[in-house]
Amino acid sequence: MNSLKVEHAASQGDIVRDCPGTKNHICCGYKTIDLIEGCALSCSYCILKAYLNSPSITIHDDIPYVISQIDEMIKKETGHILRFGTGELSDSLALDRQYELNRPLIKFFGERKRALIELKSKWAYIDHLVPHLNPYTIISFSVSPQRIIDQEEKRTSPLYKRLKTARKAQDAGCLVGLHFDPVIVYPGFERDYRYLIDDIGRLLDMDRIIWISLGMLRFPQKLFSHFIGNNRKNLLHGEFIRGEDGKMRYIKQQRIKIYSMLYRLLKSKNKGLFIYLCMEREDVWRKVTGMTVRDNEALIGLFDERIKNLYGGNI
């Protein structure tokens, strides 16, 4: 799995941080735990290529130090239920069987019962974690049509394995998350996404999906020439604009149309699903969901409400 060189770093500085979000877009207030920086899965569109300078993978494995930072953040927060994740600068599960970094975190969150940790992945293996899982861990998978997995996420687990593993996590007592991110436009993508959502409806317990995110392909401008140079045709369909944050994204009209299609298809499987847009603006939110989500605080409020509905007084 890890063809890249792995280095162990002395833990210092802020490993637990606010997700940087994107200028002038609505952010969900996520907290990132940068346990691992770098990823061996090498998806063709991965924006880590633009952000991380090192060709190797760095692991911060001083877990007591990391947990003390998480605990500090939980103690300081009085208004909201915090959501943490380890999948921002890497894949949460790809190296976990080997390094077992998640187990002490799962234990900590299970005992603390005040916040959630999300393990977000494209690597469908949780057998080593199953005996330790508790309801304060969210196992999440990024999902794409198998055609995209075959062509752009070549080292990752196939779709059916991701969904079967998500089901395994549900059966072990966890809620799961799904991330349609990045949604990629290519000829015939509508049909493939319809089949993907049918598979989700068939394989998962829809009442035990805590959240689903929708985020369309976006990337720093410098990756554009990289995609052209590497002939990544799937990543270059559609019309792109450069946003205020410097990132390339599909034009707004196209984003709204595609989000609306996915939103409708998902809600047709289960009306109660909690679906959010990743890094979008108020007008896009309104046109897709019919909801007014003015700012970060409003979106964080929606997450609080969702979690309270599912956990009752147990958080």
Q: Which residues bind ligand SF4 (CB under 6 A)?
A: 39, 41-43, 46, 48, 90-91, 122
178 in Cβ contact with 143 (< 8 Å): yes
**CB-nearer residue toward ligand SF4: 113 or 154:** 154
**CB-nearer residue toward ligand SF4: 96 or 293:** 96
Cβ 90 to ligand SF4 shortest distance, Å: 6
**CB-nearer residue toward ligand SF4: 152 or 280:** 152
CB-hemisphere CA count at 13 Å for 255? 25
Cβ 223 to ligand SF4 shortest distance, Å: 12
* Alpha-carbon gap, residue 89 to 183, rounded angstroms: 19
Element (H, E) at 149: helix 146-152
Cβ 195 to ligand SF4 shortest distance, Å: 22
Beta 57-59 vs 6-8: how paired, if at all? parallel
**CB-nearer residue toward ligand SF4: 27 or 148:** 148
**CB-nearer residue toward ligand SF4: 91 or 96:** 91
Cβ 67 to ligand SF4 shortest distance, Å: 23
Cβ 41 to ligand SF4 shortest distance, Å: 4
Q: At a CB cut-off of 8 Å and minimum separation 6, what does 232 contact?
A: 44, 45, 152
**CB-nearer residue toward ligand SF4: 91 or 280:** 91
Give the C-alpha distances (Å, rounded to integers) separating 303 from 53, 131, 268, 275: 34, 28, 21, 10
**CB-nearer residue toward ligand SF4: 90 or 165:** 90
> b/e for 263-288, b at 16 or more Cβ within 10 A?
bebbeeeeeebbbbbbbbeeebbebb
Eight-state DSSP code of residue 280: B
How far is Cα of residue 107 from the mean position of the Cα atoms in its chain?
21
- Is omega for the bond preceding 182 within 30 degrees of 0, making it cis? yes
Cβ 180 to ligand SF4 shortest distance, Å: 14
Place of tokens 């103690």: 75
Cβ 166 to ligand SF4 shortest distance, Å: 16
**CB-nearer residue toward ligand SF4: 48 or 74:** 48
Largest CA distance in the chain: 53
Cβ 148 to ligand SF4 shortest distance, Å: 12
Angle at 166 between CA 297 and CA 281, to 5 degrees: 25
